[in-house]
Amino acid sequence: MSNNELQRILFIEDEADIQAVAQVALEAVGGFTVKICSSGEEALQAGEAFAPQLILSDVMMPGMDGPATLLALRQLPTLADTPAIFMTAKVQPQEVAQLRTAGAMAVIAKPFDPMTLAQQIKDVWRQHHA
Amino acid sequence: MNTNRHYPATRTTRLLLFVPWASEAGATSLSSAQSSTTIALVICAIVVLALGLALHREQRRRKVIEEALDASKIQQQALINTMVDAVIIIDDHGTIQNFNPAAESLFGYAASEVIGENIRMLMPEPHHSAHDGYLAQYRKTGVRRVLGRRSEVEARRHDGSIFPIELAVTDMKIHGQHLFSGLLRDITERRKVDRLKDEFIATVSHELRTPLTAIRGSLGLINGGAAGELPVQSAALIRLAHDNSERLLMLVDDLLDMEQLGSGRMEFRFDELALMPVIEEAVTENAAIAKKHAVQCIITRHPDEVWVRADYQRLLQVLGNLLSNACKFSPRDSTVEISIARREDRIRINIRDQGPGIAEELRLRLFMKFVQGDTGNTRQTGGTGLGLCISKAIMERHGGEIGFTPAADTGTIFYLEIAEVGATSGNK
C-alpha cells in the first residue's frame, strides 16, 4: 500500500441513522477505516489521536456546524493540512463556493448513493493528489 | 327741406334694415358711388359681426376645454393624493415636481420640504451619488435603467433610516418637458416574509432529506448486495422500496427547484462553455436509466465546436430531464438520437425517441406543473410531473427555448434552442 492510498477517514455526522449507513458504505463497500464522531466537539477530542488522512463532515449540525468544526480542527497541528470533504443537502452554487472557501476540497451532495460514495471519495482523493 | 331731412333718414333706415336694394322711390335718386359705399359698409359690418361671433365661440370653446383640463388635473391630483402607493414625479434633472401624501408618510417629509429639491435626497448610496449620472446618460443616449420595469432598491427616510422599496418608473413628455413618474411601495414586510419562507424551505429540505438519506442509503446498500444475498422475492421488494425512495427524493428536489424558480431565488452561474462536453456528460449520467429501459443514447451529428452561455449544472439538468424522459418512453432495444445543429446564431439540440408520441390532449399542457405523459392506472414510467416545467423555466432564464414536435414516422423530437457565442471567446 502506498502512503498516498486513502485508508483512514474521520467522519463527523450528528444523525445516528446516517452514521450507520455511511459506516457500511465506507467500511464494508469502500474498505476504509472510519472513526465516527457525533459532533464537532467530539471530533476535536478524538480527531488527533485517530490521525485521519481525510476529514469527511456534515455541514448542518447542532452546536458547531461543519465549517466551524473544520476551522477548529485546523488549529490542531496534526490536522492543520488534512484534506476535508463536506457532505450536505443539495445546495446552491454560492453555498458550495463558501464551503470550498471554508477549506473543503470537495462537496458531496446528500443524500449520497452508498454504493458509490467510497468511489466518489477515492476519485476526489486521487484528483487532490494528482 | 322735407326732402333734405327725409334723405338721410331714408338712408339710415336702409342701412339698419340691410336692404339697400329695396324699392323706394327716393333711393333711385342716389348716385352709384353712394350705393357702392353703402354696400361696402354693409359687408364690413357683416364681416365684423361674423368675426365677433366666431371669436366669442372660440373663447367659449377654450373656456370649456380649460375647465375640462382643470377638472382632469384636479381629478388626477385627487387620484395621486388618495393613492395607497407613494407617487413622486421628477423632471429630467431629478427635481421633484410632485410628492403625494403616501410619499409624505413613507419618507417622513412634507411635500413642501421636497418639491423643488433633487430626488437624490431620498436615496442612500450608491444611487445617491450616481443618480444625476443616470439621468444625464438617459438624456444623452436614451438608455433606460429602470424605466418600464419593476425593480427593488433602497430608499432613505427623513430620519436617515434606509428601507427596501419596489419601484416602477414611467416617463412622459408635457409641453416638451420630460417628466418621470415613480410608483414606490415599502417592501420591508415582504422581505421579512421571504426570509421566513427561505428559512422554512431550508428547514423542510433538511428535515425531509435526513430521513430520506438514511432510508435510501439503507435500501441502496441492501440492494447493492452490501448486506449479503437476499431471497429473490425480498430482493424484488427491496428494489421497489429503493426505487420509490429515489422517486420521493426527486420530488423533494423538484419541489424545491419549483419554489426557487417561482420566487426568482434560483441562482444561475452563467459561463461561456463548450456545449458538447455538457451533452456528453448528460448522456453518461443518464446511462443507468438508459440501461434500465434497454435503450441506447447516441449522438448522431454535431458541429465541430459549439460555445454557449449557460449555467453548466442547470443545462445538464435540462438535458438529463429530456434524455431520461426519452428513455422512459422508448420501446426496449430502440435508440434515442441526439443531434446538434446551427440555426443562424442559435444552436438547436434535438433529442429524438421512438416512443408512442405525445397524446393530443397533453400537447398544450405538457410544460405545466404536475403533467405527466403517462397517466392513468397503468402508469409505468415514474417521475414527478415537474421536470419539463422546471426545464422550461431554466431555458427561459437562458434566453432559450424548449419544445417538441412529432417525429415524421414514429416518436417525438424534443428540442432545446440556445444562442451561440463566438467560438473563440470561450474560456472553459
B368-402 tens-digit pLDDT:
876 666 544 434 455 667 889 999 999 999 999 99
- Chain A partners of B223 at a C-beta cutoff of 8 Å? 115
Mutate to test the interface with A, among B209, B252, B254, B268 (most CBs of A within 10 A): B209
Q: How many CB pairs under 8 A join A and B?
A: 64
Other CB atoms within 10 Å distance of the CB of residue B407: 16
Average pLDDT over residues B33-39: 83
Task: Provide the pLDDT for residue B17.
Answer: 41
In the structure, what pLDDT confidence band is assigned to residue B423 with cuts at 50, 70 and 90?
A: very low
Cell of A97: 463556493
SS3 of residue B165 by DSSP: strand
Report CB contact under 8 Å: B206, A29.
no
Cell of B427: 474560456
Q: What is the mean pLDDT of chain A?
A: 90
Report CB contact under 8 Å: B267, A17.
no
In this prediction, does ipTM exceed 0.85?
no
User: Looking at chain A from residue 88 to 107, which residues have their Cβ under 8 Å from any Cβ of chain B?
Assistant: 89-90, 92-94
In the structure, what pLDDT confidence band is assigned to residue B6 with cuts at 50, 70 and 90?
A: very low
CB distance A111 to B218 below 8 Å:
no
Asked whether the predicted pLDDT for residue B320 surpasses 60, the reply is yes
Of A25, A89, A92, the CB nearest to B217: A25
CATH class of A8-129: alpha beta
Asked whether the predicted pLDDT for residue B87 surpasses 50, the reply is yes
Tens digits of residue pLDDT in A1-24? 445 799 999 999 999 999 999 999
Task: Provide the pLDDT for residue B151.
Answer: 81
Assess B26–A contact: CB distance below 8 Å, yes or no.
no
Q: What is the mean pLDDT of chain B?
A: 82
What share of chain B in percent tops pLDDT 90?
Answer: 38
Q: Which residue of B has its CA nearest to A25?
A: B221
Residue type, A50: F
Average pLDDT over residues B243-261: 82
Top-confidence residue, B65 or B3: B65
Assess A22–B contact: CB distance below 8 Å, yes or no.
yes
Average pLDDT over residues B290-313: 91
Assess A60–B contact: CB distance below 8 Å, yes or no.
yes
- Comparing CA positions, the residue from B364, B367, B416, B372 lying closest to residue B389 is B367
Asked whether the predicted pLDDT for residue A31 surpasses 50, the reply is yes
Task: Provide the pLDDT for residue A79.
Answer: 94
Residue type, B248: L
Average pLDDT over residues B88-96: 91
Task: Provide the pLDDT for residue B208.
Answer: 83
Of A24, A60, A94, the CB nearest to B221: A24
Report CB contact under 8 Å: B213, A25.
no
Task: Provide the pLDDT for residue B354.
Answer: 93
Assess A62–B contact: CB distance below 8 Å, yes or no.
no
Task: Provide the pLDDT for residue B380.
Answer: 45
- Comparing CA positions, the residue from B306, B338, B325 lying closest to residue B415 is B338
Task: Provide the pLDDT for residue B13.
Answer: 41
Residue tagged 476535508 (cell numbers): A84
Task: Provide the pLDDT for residue B383.
Answer: 62
Q: Which helix (H) or strand (E) holds A59?
A: none
Task: Provide the pLDDT for residue B337.
Answer: 95
How many angstroms separate the CA of residue A76 from the nearest CA in chain B? Answer: 30
Asked whether the predicted pLDDT for residue B299 surpasses 70, the reply is yes
What secondary structure does DSSP assign to A37-53, as a single string?
Answer: ESSHHHHHHHHHHH--S
- Chain B partners of A11 at a C-beta cutoff of 8 Å? none
Report CB contact under 8 Å: B206, A60.
yes
Task: Provide the pLDDT for residue B9.
Answer: 43
Top-confidence residue, B10 or A40: A40
Report CB contact under 8 Å: A111, B256.
no
Asked whether the predicted pLDDT for residue B7 surpasses 70, the reply is no
Task: Provide the pLDDT for residue B374.
Answer: 54
Cell of A55: 476529514
Top-confidence residue, A52 or B266: A52
Mutate to test the interface with B, among A27, A92, A123 (most CBs of B within 10 A): A92
Task: Provide the pLDDT for residue B146.
Answer: 65
Other CB atoms within 10 Å distance of the CB of residue B156: 19
Sign for the CA dihedral angle at B350, B356, B358, B360 comes to positive
Task: Provide the pLDDT for residue B163.
Answer: 92
Average pLDDT over residues B177-206: 83
What secondary structure does DSSP assign to B370-423, as a single string?
Answer: T--SS-STT--S---S-HHHHHHHHHHHTT-EEEEEE-SSSSEEEEEEEEEE-T
DSSP-assigned letter for residue B28: G
Assess B267–A contact: CB distance below 8 Å, yes or no.
yes
Task: Provide the pLDDT for residue B258.
Answer: 80
Task: Provide the pLDDT for residue A120.
Answer: 94
Asked whether the predicted pLDDT for residue A110 surpasses 90, the reply is no
Residue type, B422: G
Asked whether the predicted pLDDT for residue B307 surpasses 90, the reply is yes
Of B206, B220, B313, the CB nearest to A114: B220
User: Looking at chain B from residue 184 to 223, which residues have their Cβ under 8 Å from any Cβ of chain A?
Assistant: 205-206, 209-214, 216-218, 220-221, 223
Task: Provide the pLDDT for residue A39.
Answer: 95
Task: Provide the pLDDT for residue A118.
Answer: 95
Assess B256–A contact: CB distance below 8 Å, yes or no.
yes
Of A21, A89, A90, the CB nearest to B221: A21
Residue tagged 463566438 (cell numbers): B422
Residue ranges per structural domain of chain A: 8-129
